[in-house]
Amino acid sequence: MTKIKRIRKAVFPVAGLGTRFLPATKAVPKEMLTVVDKPVIQHVVNEARAAGIEHFIFVTGRGKAVIEDHFDHQFELEATLSGKKKTRELDELLAELPEAGCTSFTRQQAPRGLGHAVWCARDIVGDEPFALLLPDMLHHGAKPCLAEMIEAYETTGGNVIAVAPVPDNQTHQYGIAGVEDAKAKVSRITSMVEKPPKGTAPSNLHITGRYVLEPEIFPLLGRHEAGAGGEIQLTDAMIALNNAPGHAFHAVRFDGDIYDCGSKIGFLLANVAYGLERDDLGPQLRAAIKDML
């Protein structure tokens, strides 16, 4: 078994153009759209932090500078809140801010695919295993998804990805993983394929956008081989790594709900789900939705 090291760093690829969410994303990054009262990216950073992540690496692009501002102090606002004794608001704001020196930002200079975006983080990650979280996908469950995965990694070592079942007629929209035991919470991955043509998927378990990866993925991504859709695909590099001796992949089945906030319907549903569970908003929202229907 490969050596188990602590997972300290997480990569967030946030360079995507958000074309599925126009016109909202013309001038505002899709990661800054709010689910209830936090930007989508803040929810995902909070998931990473709940799993013990200490350093947050953002692979950004043109027009995404506001994400960097979001994870910085806003002195004018903080001074105003403090002056007005709005302590709760101020505390909430500060509690979600990563510590100084614990964020890094680099740019993916051209839209060449997810694999290329991850490769752009190679120098900042260095020679250690890391987490990767795709910010579009909000994972909403009793236990944060990445925390479950890191717990599994502490036993399996190697590489771990989250999977969840999708209806058979949707497998062509995702990366799909074949596993040894489809019913087990944690199972060895036997095959992976990115966006398989209809009727050819090895299972109905889709790759949900949460990964723990060994640094050996980087030289494979560095080959810059184009895959599905002409893009450099992360899944192709994962297949190559899984085939190399000593770099096994395990799947952790996520049993909560997943909302694709890069799509309009996923975003609307996320707002309802996250709103309903809030003490301050839930009862009113539930009653209003009932009336509406």
Kindly state the smallest distance separating residue 134's Cβ from ligand G1P, in Å.
5
Q: Residue 256's Cα: distance from chain center in Å?
A: 15
Nearer to ligand G1P, 45 or 81 (CB): 45
Nearest to ligand G1P by Cβ — which residue?
175
DSSP string, 218-238: HHHHTT--B-GGGSB-HHHHH
Kindly state the smallest distance separating residue 287's Cβ from ligand G1P, in Å.
33
Tell whether the torsion through CA atoms of 26, 31, 36 and 42 is positive or negative.
negative
Nearer to ligand G1P, 134 or 186 (CB): 134
Sole residue written with tokens 């009793």: 142
Kindly state the smallest distance separating residue 258's Cβ from ligand G1P, in Å.
8
Nearer to ligand G1P, 2 or 263 (CB): 263
Give 106's strand partners: 59
3-class DSSP assignment, residue 207: strand
Nearer to ligand G1P, 108 or 233 (CB): 233
Kindly state the smallest distance separating residue 24's Cβ from ligand G1P, in Å.
18
Nearer to ligand G1P, 41 or 81 (CB): 41
| Among candidate residues 260, 239, 224, 191, the one with its CA nearest the CA of residue 117 | 224
Nearer to ligand G1P, 209 or 275 (CB): 209
Number of helices and strands in the chain (H, E): 11, 13
- Tell me the backbone φ, ψ of residue 59, rounded to 5 degrees: -100, 105
Kindly state the smallest distance separating residue 210's Cβ from ligand G1P, in Å.
9
Kindly state the smallest distance separating residue 123's Cβ from ligand G1P, in Å.
22
Parallel/antiparallel/unpaired status of strands 9-13 and 34-35: unpaired
Kindly state the smallest distance separating residue 120's Cβ from ligand G1P, in Å.
15
Nearer to ligand G1P, 17 or 102 (CB): 17
Binding footprint of ligand G1P on the chain (CB under 6 A)? 114, 134, 137, 174-175, 194, 206-209, 233-235
Contact 156, 248 (CB under 8 A): yes
Give the whole-angstrom CA distance, residue 135 versus residue 12. Answer: 7
User: Could you tell me which residues come within 8 angstroms of residue 256 by beta carbon, excluding any fewer than 6 positions away?
Assistant: 139, 140, 141, 142, 143, 145
Give the whole-angstrom CA distance, residue 118 versus residue 49. Answer: 19
